[in-house]
Each structure stands twice: as structure tokens, then as C-alpha cells.
Chains A and B, each alone.
Chain A
Amino acid sequence: GQQVMQIPQYQHVQEGEDFTTYCNSSTTLSNIQWYKQRPGGHPVFLIQLVKSGEVKKQKRLTFQFGEAKKNSSLHITATQTTDVGTYFCAGHQGGKLIFGQGTELSVKP
């Protein structure tokens, strides 16, 4: 079955540093979604990428979808303490939305 792998599992940064999390699938994805979960909260949708090579930006967040539609990345520029949380990618296969393991981001002020 499909596997969605996400690295790193944890990332600790100083406020102002950049952060990147990577998502890789064993199969081609029709699209990929990214979610953020604040500590103690529930996942909240951030964005969806559909096209091969697509790049989308949300303020300091940049999302990329690989040319082969098997990988994706989320890059945060100049992290802030409000960026703390776990970031998940999720890909679709056969009617199911499969999540990666998530990357937990901590930001030291």
C-alpha cells in the first residue's frame, strides 16, 4: 500500500531561522495536502497542491510539489514562535487520505 514518509520527525530552531519539512510517497500522488496541528489541538488545513512542479506561497510559508508528484516540501522563512506545532503532509490513494508521520517544530525565542 501507499506510504507517505515525512522527515525530519523533530526540528528545533531559533526564532528567525528557516525550517523545511519533506514529504515522500512510494507512489504518484493525485494531489497533496498540508496540515498544521498546534500542541493540544487538531489538524487544520493549510493548502493543497495538485499540479506537477506547483509552488504556492502563504506569507512566510512556501509549498512545493515535485515534478514526479511523489514528493513535496514545506519551507518556513524566518520562523516565529507562532509557527510552533506539528506539520503533516497527506496524500490520496484509492479514496483514502494517508498522512505522513508529521514534523514537530519547536521555536526558541
Chain B
Amino acid sequence: NAGVTQTPKFQVLKTGQSMTLQCAQDMNHEYMSWYRQDPGMGLRLIHYSVGAGITDQGEVPNGYNVSRSTTEDFPLRLLSAAPSQTSVYFCASSGRDYQETQYFGPGTRLLVL
């Protein structure tokens, strides 16, 4: 049982490049979410999903896309990276609904030059 896994651990992008941050969980959790963490800003919700085929926007969704084709996977796509997207990205999942314990992945450190 690996829990929540994220790849890559670290990525450097140039402005305008696109990439996908991968997130997978093997706990059969319905609820998954993406957060970004910046100094002094805490964890800000980007997008979340309450189940396969269902996604919704969080606090800071601009510049990011998500999809949820399976229960296990919840990738985060940056269509055209900007320096403002330099951050640490965490994926999280929880059981039947969002009010249960959130299990976080190890994070992806993204640097956009």
C-alpha cells in the first residue's frame, strides 16, 4: 500500500512550457485534491475531485487543468508555465468525502524560469 504518490519530485520548466504533475493513490479514495504551498501563504486549493469524472475549482485554479478518468489518478496540467507557478505542489486524497482525513503525497517542487 503506497498511499499517495506524486511524480516528479522536482522539475524545472521554462516559461511557456507545459507539463503534467502526476498523482496516484491506491486506497480507493473518492476525494482527491491539489494544493500549492508558497512561503507565508499556507496551502491553497487548486482543484479537487469528488469522484471519477467529476472535478471542480478551488481557490486558485487559473493556469491549471485537471481530469479524473479513474479513481486512482488525478493529474494536474500546466498548459503554459509562468514564474508565478513556482511552488511546491501537494496532492491529497481522502475516503468517502472531503471531511475525512486527508492523506498527502510527498510533493513536487516546481521551478519555472
Question: Which positions in A face B, CB cutoff 8 Å?
Answer: 1, 6, 9, 30-31, 33, 35, 41-45, 48, 88, 90, 92, 95-102
Contacts and interface: CB of A to CB of B under 8 A. Distances in A.
A106 B2 CA distance: 31
Contacts of A96: 45, 48, 58-59, 98
B90 A43 contact: yes
B74 interface: no
B95 to A, nearest CB: 12
Interface of B: 33, 35, 40-45, 48, 50, 56, 58-59, 90, 92, 98-99, 101-107
B50 A42 contact: no
B98 A99 contact: no
Contact of B104 (A30, A43, A92): A43
Indicate the member of B41, B104, B106 with the most A CB atoms within 10 Å: B104
- Which 10 pairs show the lowest CB-CB distances between chains A and B? A101-B42, A99-B43, A42-B104, A45-B101, A102-B42, A99-B42, A43-B104, A97-B98, A42-B107, A42-B106
14 contacts: A30-B99, A33-B101, A42-B107, A43-B104, A45-B103, A48-B101, A90-B43, A95-B50, A95-B56, A97-B98, A98-B59, A99-B42, A99-B44, A100-B42
